[in-house]
Amino acid sequence: TQLLEQSPQFLSIQEGENLTVYCNSSSVFSSLQWYRQEPGEGPVLLVTVVTGGEVKKLKRLTFQFGDARKDSSLHITAAQPGDTGLYLCAGEGAGNMLTFGGGTRLMVKP
C-alpha cells in the first residue's frame, strides 16, 4: 500500500504571506496531481507533474515534483483570501490508482 503524507494539515495565515505544502512518500509515483477543493464541491485539478524535478507554475502557485518522484511541494506566494480551501495531493501508482494525501486546509485571512 502506498502512503502519501501531506503537511501541514491546517494552515491559517494573513493575506500576503507565503506558504508551502508538502507531500512525501517512500513510494515512487508515475505522476502526481494537486487538487483544490471548496466546501460542498468536488476537487478541481490544479496541475499534474510527471517528470522528476519538474517545476510548474500557475500564477502565484509553484508546484515541484521531487527528483525521485516520491515527493512534491506546492508553494503559494502572496496568498489571498480566494486561495482558501482544501488542497489535496494525489500520487498515481500501480494500476493507475491514486493515493491521496490527508489534505491541507488553508485559510487566508484578509
Partner 1 sequence: GAVVSQHPSWVICKSGTSVKIECRSLDFQATTMFWYRQFPKQSLMLMATSNEGSKATYEQGVEKDKFLINHASLTLSTLTVTSAHPEDSSFYICSARESIPQYFGPGTRLLVL
Q: Which residues bind partner 1 (CB under 8 A)?
A: 30-31, 33, 35, 40-45, 48, 50, 88, 90, 92, 96-98, 100-103, 105
For residue 103, the minimal CB distance to partner 1 (Å) is 4
For residue 81, the minimal CB distance to partner 1 (Å) is 19
Separation between Cα atoms, residue 19 and residue 78, nearest integer Å: 8
Q: Which is nearer to partner 1, 18 or 51 (CB)?
A: 51
Q: How far is the CB of 33 from partner 1 (least distance, A)?
A: 5
* Closer by beta carbon to partner 1, 78 or else 97: 97
